[in-house]
């Protein structure tokens, strides 16, 4: 029996994780956490019987306690609650399916007590990778990638020494606006940006895919997970999303992982690694597919990717500014307060104004986040 805790259980990755639990009786959910979705959480508790659940909002936690008065479960709230769930003694694996930098402290706390991490929450690695990767090594804790590209790289690396990697080829669908010019992106609406061609995901990452900031975050994520510098990570636009990423070795051999787009595969692979379990679903039919294609990313129409390269090269706290500015700008875009192109513009403004701190501590990372939020709100409301 493998015991798991899930942060962000009501979201896109969280609910797909629970689908895998449903199909595999040797997985047991011991702890769950979400933001404010009380109704969904109540249903999850009644189905999966965790021992502890957390809601970010105290109000939601109160309501959940009332609804679950007939169930023997502890309900906690806020950051303290998230931390308690992250280190919950009965769990072996923590699935980090929460969205944003809020995941930093719980992820670190879980590593410190030796939990394996199934990592979807890329923002945590982007901003605190320099702390998390050495910490995981020190505690002998595996960080198992859930992000589809990183899972593909992980699967392609299986059994090969990392010293033999020549390049990582990180594939990107290009999102809903692939092929458009910057001018054509000026007036795109929130509804258009939320229509991803291949994947159904949470709102934040769907917008990140439309701006290609998601790919920028993923280059940073790959750098930390696989210890490969940016110059050896190439983004390859591949609109069909069948090749989920590739590794090129020193002899020129390229190993890739292919499959229909379905996040359940990388989630399940992380949960059972190194085992492979059966997974129902569509299979790739190469005759139906006919062809798969490749393009260079358009850094002019999608400056979010170029800004990521700049943030990686400068290092220190600049990736935190890149990420925090994006989180704030995406929230403002979803609220209809700024236009689509302003997302990358605000990231750039924040990066230009920031004084880089080398090797920032968790405290400093969170201070930089607060500075960035404040700066962006001033910029937007002036």
147 contributes a contact to Mg ion by CB under 5 A? yes
Toward ligand NDP, which CB reaches closer, 122 or 178?
122
CA distance 306 to 284: 32
Which of 19, 35, 71, 315 lies at the binding interface for ligand NDP (CB under 6 A)? 35
Q: Binding segment for Mg ion among 21-29, 139-147, 180-188, 257-265 (CB under 5 A)? A: 139-147
263 contributes a contact to ligand NDP by CB under 6 A? yes
Number of neighbours of residue 162 by Cβ within 10 angstroms: 10
Which of 121, 156, 171, 209 lies at the binding interface for ligand NDP (CB under 6 A)? 121
Q: Which of residues 147-176 bind ligand NDP (CB under 6 A)?
A: 147
199 contributes a contact to ligand NDP by CB under 6 A? yes
CA distances from 159 to 163, 164, 232 (A): 12, 11, 20
3-state secondary structure of 168: strand
Q: Are 159 and 172 in contact (CB under 8 A)?
A: no
> For residue 3, which of 122, 116, 91, 118 has the smallest C-alpha distance?
91
303 token code pair: 């400056």
Which of 176, 197, 202, 339 lies at the binding interface for ligand NDP (CB under 6 A)? 202
Q: Binding segment for Mg ion among 141-149, 258-266, 327-335, 344-352 (CB under 5 A)? A: 141-149
Toward ligand NDP, which CB reaches closer, 220 or 379?
220
351 binds, among Mg ion, ligand NDP, none (CB under 5 to 8 A by kind): none
Q: Sign of the CA dihedral 34, 31, 15, 328?
A: positive
Query: Residue written as tokens 């001018």?
Result: 183
104 token code pair: 């930093």
Query: Which residues are near Mg ion by CB under 5 A?
Result: 147-149
What is the contact surface with ligand NDP in residues (CB under 6 A)? 8-14, 33-37, 56, 82, 97-99, 102, 120-123, 147, 199, 201-205, 263
């Amino acid at each position: 029996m493998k015991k798991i805790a899930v942060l962000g259980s009501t979201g896109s990755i969280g609910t797909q994780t629970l689908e895998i639990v449903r199909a595999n009786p040797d997985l047991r959910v011991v702890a769950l956490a979400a933001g404010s979705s009380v109704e969904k959480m109540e249903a999850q508790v009644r189905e999966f019987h965790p021992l502890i659940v957390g809601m970010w909002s105290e109000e939601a936690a109160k309501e959940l306690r009332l609804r679950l008065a007939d169930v023997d479960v502890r309900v906690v709230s806020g950051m303290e609650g998230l931390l308690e769930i992250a280190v919950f003694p009965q769990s072996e694996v923590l699935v980090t399916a929460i969205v944003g930098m809020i995941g930093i402290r719980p992820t670190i706390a879980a590593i410190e007590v030796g939990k394996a991490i199934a990592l979807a929450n890329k923002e945590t690695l982007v901003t605190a990778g320099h702390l998390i990767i050495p910490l995981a090594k020190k505690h002998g804790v595996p960080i198992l990638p859930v992000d589809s590209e990183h899972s593909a790289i992980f699967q392609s690396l299986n059994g090969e020494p990392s010293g033999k990697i020549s390049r990582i080829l990180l594939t990107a669908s290009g999102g809903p606006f692939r092929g458009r010019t910057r001018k054509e992106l000026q007036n795109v609406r929130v509804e258009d940006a939320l229509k991803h061609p291949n994947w159904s995901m949470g709102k934040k990452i769907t917008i990140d895919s439309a701006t290609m900031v998601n790919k920028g975050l993923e280059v940073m994520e790959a750098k930390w997970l696989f210890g490969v510098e940016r110059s050896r990570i190439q983004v390859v636009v591949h609109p069909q999303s069948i090749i989920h990423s590739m590794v090129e070795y020193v002899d020129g051999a390229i190993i890739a992982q292919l499959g229909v787009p379905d996040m359940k595969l990388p989630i399940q692979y992380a949960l059972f690694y190194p085992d492979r379990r059966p997974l129902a679903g569509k299979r790739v039919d190469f005759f139906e597919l006919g062809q798969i294609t490749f393009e260079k990313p358009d850094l002019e129409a999608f400056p979010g990717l170029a800004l990521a390269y700049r943030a990686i090269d400068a290092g220190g706290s600049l990736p935190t500014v890149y990420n925090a500015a994006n989180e704030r700008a995406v929230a403002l875009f979803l609220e209809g307060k700024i236009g689509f192109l302003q997302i990358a513009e605000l990231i750039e403004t924040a990066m230009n104004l920031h004084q880089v701190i080398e090797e920032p501590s968790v405290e400093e990372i969170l201070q930089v986040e607060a500075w960035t939020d404040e700066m962006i709100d001033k910029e937007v409301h002036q």
